[in-house]
Amino acid sequence: MKILLDAMGGDNAPKSTVQGAADAVKEFGDGMTLALLGDEAKIKAAAQELGVDLTPFELIHCTEDVDMHDDPVKAVRHKTDSSLVKGLTMLKNGEADAFVSAGSTGALHVGTSLIVRTVKGVKRPALATCMPGKKQPFLLLDCGANAECRAEMLNAFGTMGSVYMNKVMGRKDPAVALVNNGAEDTKGTPMYREAHGLLKANPAIRFVGNIEPRDIMAGEVDVIVCDGFVGNVVLKLTEGVAGTLLGMLKDIFMQSIVTKLCYLGVKGGLRNLKHMMDSEEIGGAPLLGAAKPVIKAHGSSKTKGIKNAIRQAKLCVANDLCGTMQSALAEVAAKAAAEKTDAE
């Protein structure tokens, strides 16, 4: 399989992308060809500084960059020789199997919608990321692609999330919940109340109602649905709280000889907790609903985050995520149509 990497995307590019690509090839490169898109001179300079051999990679020179501050629509339409737009175009044309970028979320989302397109039955792709919960990991979507949503979009996110957790993660009859400021059906804005009604009536999912933010991390449900603004706040707040708490625990254990000795007894558990809460371990979030695999890595991704985003892309291709999503959504549509006919 061939995976394209936006070598210029992200706060730490191109060093993070070049080193991340090198680590990916070394760790799980069998059966994978990796192409780096971007300014060839900058990529080579970064590789020389890092001591990375570029021989295993295909370099695709691009003369433009999409800046985080660029208007997403204008960037996609006019910066056609940027690493982001060229990568999405190559993916659409069948020149690669997946695309990974830590660049502008807005531009990647618009570019995916306009260039790569979506599977039948999906109007807008959603960023979906697996997050650690006390009981089990859960899927959060949307976590940043669609800041403003209509009720029917949240309903579609519920269906896509349920399909993903069932077909890809192996969860039987996954539970779907809607983020809200209260558990009651009447809570939330008019849009969220409308979305609640649609999700409740959706025959393709097992909707368990609203979930309050304080209960999200318990991991009692499989899919958490919200608009991209709320989802991004939940995601980044969780990352921030996890980092702060781990830092506070470290300070407590370093206070005296006694507390340092206590630390030795729980060091393994704390290491596992840090590993579980590290966003770099996940690497990237797939744009669910895209016709071909597009992976969005965190804008602040370092080497490990880029490496694991490439891993996500490889897994999506190997498991035929997009084909599975299309087939599952077709089954959902057929089931809904049959139930409607029976009701009439």
- Cα–Cα distance list, 145 to 16, 181, 232 (Å): 23, 22, 9
pLDDT at res. 243: 80
Instruction: Compute the mean pLDDT over every residue in the chain, rounded to the nearest whole number.
Output: 89
Mean pLDDT, range 42-52, rounded to an integer = 96
* 297, 168, 110, 15 alpha-carbon torsion, rounded to 10°: 20
Tokens 């939940």: give the residue: 234
Q: What is the DSSP letter of 215?
A: G
Place of tokens 């997403």: 72
pLDDT score of 195 more than 90: yes
pLDDT in tens, 291-340: 999 999 988 889 999 999 999 899 889 888 888 888 877 877 777 677 76
Instruction: For residue 119, give the nearest of 338, 331, 336, 330 by alpha carbon.
Output: 330
Q: What's the whole-model pTM score?
A: 0.83
Domains annotated for the chain, with CATH where assigned, are: 1-125+289-344 (3.40.718.10), 126-281 (3.40.718.10)
Q: How far apart are CA 23 and CA 98, in angstroms?
A: 18
The per-residue pLDDT for range 123-181, each reduced to its tens digit, is 889 999 888 888 888 999 988 888 889 998 899 899 889 888 887 777 889 999 999 99
| pLDDT tens by residue, 203-251 | 889 999 999 999 998 889 999 999 999 999 998 888 888 788 888 888 8
> What is the model's pLDDT at position 254?
85
In eight-state DSSP terms, residue 217 is G
Give the mean model confidence (pLDDT) for residues 81-85. Answer: 96
Which pLDDT score is estimated for 60? 97
**Following CA atoms 163, 164, 167, 168 in sequence, which dihedral angle do they give, to the nearest 10 degrees?**
180
Reported as a pLDDT band with limits 50, 70 and 90, residue 276 is low
